[in-house]
Chains A and B, each alone.
Chain A
Amino acid sequence: MAPERFYADSGDSTALALKILVAGGFGVGKTTLVGSVSEIRPLRTEERLSEIGESVDDTAGVDRKTTTTVAMDFGRITIRSGLSLYLFGTPGQARFWFLWDELSFGALGAVVLADTRRLEDCFPAVDFFEHRHIPFVVAVNCFPGARSYGAHDVSRALDLDPGTPVVLCDARDRDSGKEVLIRLVEYAGRRHTARLLDSVAQP
């Protein structure tokens, strides 16, 4: 599907951008997390309604209702000149799921933010990344007043694949947010190495 010639004379080959998605239920702290580790910026996408799914939006009688606006946040962390990390807060509403496919293409990994008071809100995100084999960590945003659970309890409640890291965090805290990202990058590296070894082992 990719016309390779498109990249034949691609630009600075040393410039590298990596993408990390921040997913989770509404109000779980996605924007807060992105904002605590990077300068957060608003991003608008204007999506054709036909791509959103006729079953959701009744377009009967509308000849060509054109677009609808989807807003999300992103932040950039410059590691060094030519190496940047981009964080994207994924829109939580189910009807914008089609955006996730594009967002997750080529992603290094994802952070699934969870709130133990409504853990079920992050089920869809966990399912999404598991099915697409995208490395993710579950970051439990420890809201004040919420009963605290151990990482193991959360892992079991979410029925996570063995090895999927669960990190307790405070999305408002920069150091805590950094730690979540570090755990994710480490895990993505381990998963990648394991996949390489698997492919070598296959006859």
Chain B
Amino acid sequence: MNADEGPEGVGRPRPGSHWYDAEAGPVVRPYAMTGGRTDPGPNAAHFDLIALVALDTGAPAPGAYTSLGPEHRALLELCRVEAQSVAELATDADLPVGVVRVLLGDLLNRGCIRISRPVPPAHLPDERILREVIDGLRAL
């Protein structure tokens, strides 16, 4: 018999248990941390999942932005060492991509970050790069 199923446990929540669990999803609705904004602004389309986000070298230290929320700061911290893709930022910050895009829009408008250009379809990388990719895959 499972120890958790003793008569004292029936019908009475154990201390520390909640009516929700991880399966219930985030307790804070995702866009609460963006103040309800779901639109990252005119630059939205450019936060491609593989767009690379780097700190703007000319930007003050994150501490200087007193109006930034903790999620903004977390994103800045994540790309401190090296440029990160939007996909990686979302995963590392454990935030939905849509929310990350809004937050990145804020950071871009404040001049905290720079975004690399994703490769447009008409300008696929040259043969040399593709060869490098193939050789790199072989060497994996």
Which A residues are closer than 8 A to B by beta carbons? 1-3, 6-7, 9-13, 15-19, 37, 41-48, 66-67, 69, 74, 76-77, 79-80, 83-86, 88, 102-103, 105-108, 134, 174, 178, 181-182, 185-186, 188-189, 192-193
- Chain B positions within 8 Å of A37 at CB level: 137, 140
Please report the number of residue pairs spanning A and B whose Cβ atoms sit closer than 8 angstroms.
151
CB distance from A1 to the nearest CB of B (A): 7
- Chain A positions within 8 Å of B30 at CB level: 46, 67
Q: A16-B125, A182-B137, A186-B134 are in contact. Are A10 and B38 (CB under 8 A)?
A: no
Residue B42 interfacial (CB < 8 Å): yes
Asked if A86 contacts B85 (CB within 8 A), the reply is: yes
**Bound Cα distance from A16 to B140, whole angstroms:** 19
Q: A3-B42, A178-B140, A182-B134 are in contact. Are A12 and B54 (CB under 8 A)?
A: yes
B interface: dominant SS: mixed
- For B, the interface residue count at a CB cutoff of 8 angstroms equals 46
Residue B78 interfacial (CB < 8 Å): no
Which B residues are closer than 8 A to A by beta carbons? 25, 29-31, 38, 42-43, 45-46, 48-52, 54, 83, 85, 87-88, 90-91, 95-99, 114-121, 124-125, 127, 129-130, 132-134, 136-138, 140
**Bound Cα distance from A172 to B133, whole angstroms:** 21
CB distance from A102 to the nearest CB of B (A): 8
Asked if A105 contacts B137 (CB within 8 A), the reply is: no
CB distance from A70 to the nearest CB of B (A): 9
Asked if A85 contacts B133 (CB within 8 A), the reply is: yes
**Bound Cα distance from A92 to B51, whole angstroms:** 23
Asked if B132 contacts A11 (CB within 8 A), the reply is: no
Asked if B133 contacts A1 (CB within 8 A), the reply is: no
Asked if B114 contacts A46 (CB within 8 A), the reply is: no
